[in-house]
Amino acid sequence: MLLFRRLGAGALLCATLYGQYKTESAGAPPAEATAVAPALVKDGIRILKPDGSVLCEIWLAAVEPKGGGEEQNTTWTGVPHGALLGVVRAPGRWSDRRGQTIKPGIYTMRYSFFPMNGDHQGVEPQRDFALLSPAAVDTGAAAQPGFDALMEMSRKASGTPHPLVLSLWKDEPGAAAGVEAAGDANQVLHTKIGAAPVAIIVVGKTEH
């Protein structure tokens, strides 16, 4: 989405002053994700903070999930709700898009979209989200949990009434892989799931 691809002077200055987030190889999926590992890429992405410490590691699905319908105000048409997008490892405390704590651990990442019930107006320009759930309670790569079931799984990770969420969207074709500063505080990972270009906000908090 162009909203996140256009970087302002402030964001560029921030990157210059405070350093940049970088990516490197993360190797094979973690042993704790054995149940879903066959569906993942063999080499993950490690995201490094400007000080060189690890923010997170992500192993994405090797094939773009398909077979879903169309949802209003989503960018990734045809992805079934609950489809496995990948596995995430948080080596230290991290934060989701709402500012909730992501505790150190291994999580599955599944596709969802926030409901159009008036509670999420202004949260993001698109409804696409990735929900994190403890890998220990999510053991089926082919599963596509419904909305309520996925919310309940993710609440086991957050420990709050709200699931752990990362904002994502179908990216522009040809977007350069890596982490890019966007706006005043967001860091956006540009990558691919299968052949589909996707963008995930890995650092940044919505004000809503």
Percent of the chain with pLDDT over 70: 84
Q: Identify the pLDDT of residue 19.
A: 67
- Mean of the pLDDT values across residues 72-80? 88
Residue 149 has pLDDT above 80, yes or no: yes
Residue 202 · residue 188 · CB < 8 Å: yes
| pLDDT tens for each residue of 117-133 | 444 444 456 789 999 99
* In contact, 49 and 93? CB cutoff 8 Å: no
Residue 140 has pLDDT above 50, yes or no: yes
- Lookup: tokens for 150: 């996925």
Q: Of 182 and 71, which is predicted with more confidence?
A: 182
Both tokens assigned to 101:
């704590």
Cα-based angle 22, 28, 32 (whole degrees, multiple of 5): 110
Of 3-17, 105-119, 121-135, 140-154, the range with the lowest mean pLDDT is 3-17
Mean pLDDT on 144-153: 94
Nearest to 110 by CA among 160, 75, 69, 147: 147
**pLDDT, position 158:** 96
Among 5-14, 44-53, 121-130, 169-178, the least confident range = 5-14
Residue 206 — pLDDT band, cuts 50, 70, 90? Answer: confident
Range of weakest confidence among 8-22, 40-54, 134-148, 183-197: 8-22
- What pLDDT, on the 0 to 100 scale, is given for residue 52? 96
pLDDT of residue 72: 75
Contact 183, 204 (CB under 8 A): yes
**If DSSP states are collapsed to H, E and C, what string results for the chain?**
CHHHHCCCHHHHHHHHHHCCCEEEEEECCCHHHCCCHHHECCCEEEEECCCCCEEEEEEEECCCCCCCCCCCCCCCCCCCCCCEEEEEEECCCEECCCCCEECCEEEEEEEEECCCCCCCCCCCCCCEEEEEEEHHHCCCCCCCCCHHHHHHHHHHHHCCCCCEEEEEEECCCCCCCEEEEECCCEEEEEEEECCEEEEEEEECCCCC
Task: Please report where in the chains the tokens 């860091």 appear, as a residue.
Answer: 187
Q: What is the pLDDT of residue 74?
A: 86
Give percent of the chain above pLDDT 90: 73
Report the distance separating Cα 56 and Cα 175, nearest Å.
Answer: 21
Q: Which residue has the tokens 């969420």?
A: 165
Q: Domain-by-domain residue ranges, the chain?
A: 2-203
Which tokens sit at 67? 């077979």
